[in-house]
Structure 1
């Protein structure tokens, strides 16, 4: 109870409440505009959060993150165009409902599903993060090295159709993480005598370039958004909760899958959506309705992707290991304010942890109420042309990259990553592994060095310790399962087997 009161005191400040509200509004706006991703906007806002109080800064970014998944359903249902990448499956059943005059009902189902998934996700964070943080106290250098390696492996394997490209980008990110001064030996690594590289590749300009400015180039290269929007006609918002009550098992199953998938690095919303939608169709009494306007299809998609939003923070808070690029941005906010994620954070900053939980609850409530009241006006955001958005993002990206340290080199680094990210996007090569390689690569290398130093260079330290052995086994099993799956999917394999 005392911790809860401390948390209430933390979020009771006007700046924290304003950050939650502003983040939620920005997130819904971003999700409502096709082609504009939350990662890019979070990257632009990242330098701003460094000057804010820790809870306010984190709440602002989480508001954008969570609100975008709510808002992404609007163009997915009304325009057959997902506002965010994770809203793809929402189009399958949302748009057919809108076409037959049930657009408002489809939106109500999406909002209510997102709200239930978001609340369950926060509850999972409250229950699981403290428990896993106690487990993390048993970790040494070997365990953290294996955990970082497992995270990187999962990120690569998550890009099933682009595993080779993802592995290359991860390796590139790890290489970038080695640039700068090696503090163990006080030597310069890959700086080539350039003073601006002594502190390594800064995370913020890299994130802004890869996610925000590269997306701006994509938008600038496209023609304006001339898509038509389906009018809102029938169906009240109360119909959303009624649909959830009719599909209770789908709600429960999708929520659990979302929470579990959020714990796995690199899997997140896409994996949870796919499995939730597939299982919903499999267990449905009317599977043929899926793709034609099935309520359960929208529920499975929206519940599962919002059930990830808070559970994805569990590895970050409990172990200090970000599971995706968005959590890497939050890690940067933590580190700037000297809040080190991990077991000690729960004992040293209990008021911050409680405030974080409460801010996530409030964020979901703010977004839900805002969508209920303002959907008819938010719909107009879908008509904004992509080129205008791209120009604004490009300008804000330069400002954000420069304002972190007020160094022109940071703006040039952001521009370099923007061009590189644009090339990767045009060739359908994943960019997320670069950021995780940049963040997790140094963790892996430093922890390996520490572990081997303790063991006098004996590699058996990674198999002599039980937890490290379990994590190493998971790495081997994950790679083996993927390789076997790819081998079975090879063209002509089934024909040869039958012959």
Structure 2
């Protein structure tokens, strides 16, 4: 109870409350505009969050993240154009409902499903993060090395159709993570005697360039990319809870899948949404309606992807291992303020952890209430010209990358990553593994060297410790299952 009061005291400040509200509203806005991805906007806001109080900075970024998944349902349902990549399956049943005059009903179901999924996700964070942080106390260098390796393997295998490309991008990220001054031996690594590379490749300009500015180039390169005018027809936006009660099994199953998938690095919203939608159709009494305006389809899609938003933080808070690009950005915010994720954070900063839980609850409430009353005005955002958005993001990207350290080299690094990210997008090559390789690569290499130092160069340290052996077994099992499924697919094909 005392920790809860400390958390309320943290959240009760004007700065944190404003961060929650502004972040949530920005997120909804981003999600409502087709072609504008939340990762890019979060990257632009990252330098700003460094100058804020820790809880306010984290709440701002999480508000954008969570709000975008809510807002992405608006163009998906009304225009058949997903506002965010994870809203693709929402178009399957949302748009057919709009065509038959049930647009408002579809939005009500989407909002309510997102709200329930989001709240369940926060509850899972409250329950699981402290438990896993206690397990993290048993971890040594060998365990952390294997955990980082497992995270990277999951990230690669999650891109099932682009595993080779994802592995290459992960390797590139790991290589970039080695650049700089090796403090163990006081030697320069791949710096070519350039002073601006002594501190390595900075994460913020890399993220801004790869996600925000590359998306700006895409928007600027597309002609006639104006969004069409949408119409909002049908009943009110307050009937969603009644529909969810009729399909409560689908809600519970989809939320549970979302929570579990959020724990797996690289899987996240896409994996949970796919499995939830597939299972909802399989167990439905009317599977033939899926894809033609089935409320269960919207429930499965929106509940599962929003159930990931808080559970994806569990590996970060408990072990200090980011599961996706956004968590890597949050890790940067933590480190700037000297908040080290892991068991010590729960012991030393209980007011911060409690405040984080409360801010996530408030974020879901703010977004739900805002969407319920303001949707008729939000739909007008779909009319904004794509090229205008692209130019605006490009300017903000340069400003954001330069303002962190006030170094021109950071802006040039962002531009380089922007061009590279644009090429990746055009060739459908995943960019997320680059960032996770840049973050997890140094973690793996450092912990691996520490473990080898402790063991005197004996590799058996990774199989002689139970937790390390378990994680190594999961790595081998994951690769084996992937290779076996590929083999079976080729034989049946």
TM-score calculated relative to the size of structure 2: 0.99
Q: Which residue of 2 is the match for residue 346 of structure 1?
A: 346
Query: Conserved in 2, the CA contact under 8 Å of 1:98 and 1:230?
Result: no
Counting only pairs closer than 5 Å after superposition, residues 188-207 of structure 1 correspond to structure 2 as 188-207=188-207
**C-alpha distance in 1 between matches for 2:113 and 2:148:** 33
**C-alpha distance in 2 between matches for 1:222 and 1:232:** 27
Q: Which residue of 2 is the match for residue 166 of structure 1?
A: 166
**C-alpha distance in 1 between matches for 2:165 and 2:305:** 25
Q: Which residue of 1 is the match for residue 228 of structure 2?
A: 228
Q: Which residue of 2 is the match for residue 434 of structure 1?
A: 434
- The superposition leaves residues 286-325 of structure 1 with CA deviations (integer Å, 9 ceiling, x where unpaired) of 0000000000000000000000000000000000000000
Q: Which residue of 2 is the match for residue 96 of structure 1?
A: 96
Q: Which residue of 2 is the match for residue 331 of structure 1?
A: 331
**C-alpha distance in 2 between matches for 1:220 and 1:226:** 11
SS at match of 1:405: coil
Q: Which residue of 1 is the match for residue 10 of structure 2?
A: 10
Query: Conserved in 2, the CA contact under 8 Å of 1:58 and 1:330?
Result: yes
SS at match of 1:188: strand
Query: Does 1:366 find its partner at 2:366?
Result: yes
Query: Conserved in 2, the CA contact under 8 Å of 1:225 and 1:384?
Result: no
Q: Which residue of 2 is the match for residue 281 of structure 1?
A: 281
Structure 1 position 230, deviation (Å): 4.0
Structure 1 position 19, deviation (Å): 0.3
Structure 1 position 225, deviation (Å): 3.3
**C-alpha distance in 2 between matches for 1:367 and 1:494:** 46
Query: Conserved in 1, the CA contact under 8 Å of 2:230 and 2:382?
Result: no
SS at match of 2:326: helix
Query: Does 1:375 find its partner at 2:372?
Result: no
Query: Conserved in 1, the CA contact under 8 Å of 2:34 and 2:227?
Result: no
Q: Which residue of 2 is the match for residue 407 of structure 1?
A: 407
TM-score calculated relative to the size of structure 1: 0.98
Q: Which residue of 2 is the match for residue 311 of structure 1?
A: 311
Structure 1 position 232, deviation (Å): 1.4
Query: Conserved in 1, the CA contact under 8 Å of 2:227 and 2:384?
Result: no
SS at match of 1:238: coil
SS at match of 1:296: helix
- With 219-228 and 204-213 compared, the bigger mean Cα shift is at 219-228
Query: Conserved in 1, the CA contact under 8 Å of 2:77 and 2:107?
Result: yes
SS at match of 2:328: helix
**C-alpha distance in 1 between matches for 2:318 and 2:162:** 30
Query: Conserved in 1, the CA contact under 8 Å of 2:230 and 2:379?
Result: no
SS at match of 1:121: helix
- The superposition leaves residues 406-450 of structure 1 with CA deviations (integer Å, 9 ceiling, x where unpaired) of 000000000000000000110000000000000000000000000
Q: Which residue of 1 is the match for residue 492 of structure 2?
A: 494
SS at match of 1:315: helix
- The superposition leaves residues 201-245 of structure 1 with CA deviations (integer Å, 9 ceiling, x where unpaired) of 000000000000000000000123344344211122222111101
Structure 1 gap segments, 5+ residues each? none
Structure 1 position 385, deviation (Å): 1.0
Query: Conserved in 2, the CA contact under 8 Å of 1:28 and 1:68?
Result: yes
Counting only pairs closer than 5 Å after superposition, residues 397-476 of structure 1 correspond to structure 2 as 397-476=397-476
Number of residue equivalences: 493
**C-alpha distance in 2 between matches for 1:25 and 1:234:** 25
Q: Which residue of 2 is the match for residue 485 of structure 1?
A: 485
Query: Conserved in 2, the CA contact under 8 Å of 1:78 and 1:229?
Result: no
**C-alpha distance in 2 between matches for 1:342 and 1:255:** 25
Q: Which residue of 2 is the match for residue 268 of structure 1?
A: 268
**C-alpha distance in 2 between matches for 1:226 and 1:294:** 29
* RMSD of equivalent CA atoms: 0.7
Query: Conserved in 1, the CA contact under 8 Å of 2:152 and 2:170?
Result: yes
Counting only pairs closer than 5 Å after superposition, residues 75-224 of structure 1 correspond to structure 2 as 75-224=75-224
**C-alpha distance in 2 between matches for 1:301 and 1:212:** 26
- The superposition leaves residues 250-301 of structure 1 with CA deviations (integer Å, 9 ceiling, x where unpaired) of 0000000000000000000000000000000000000000000000000000
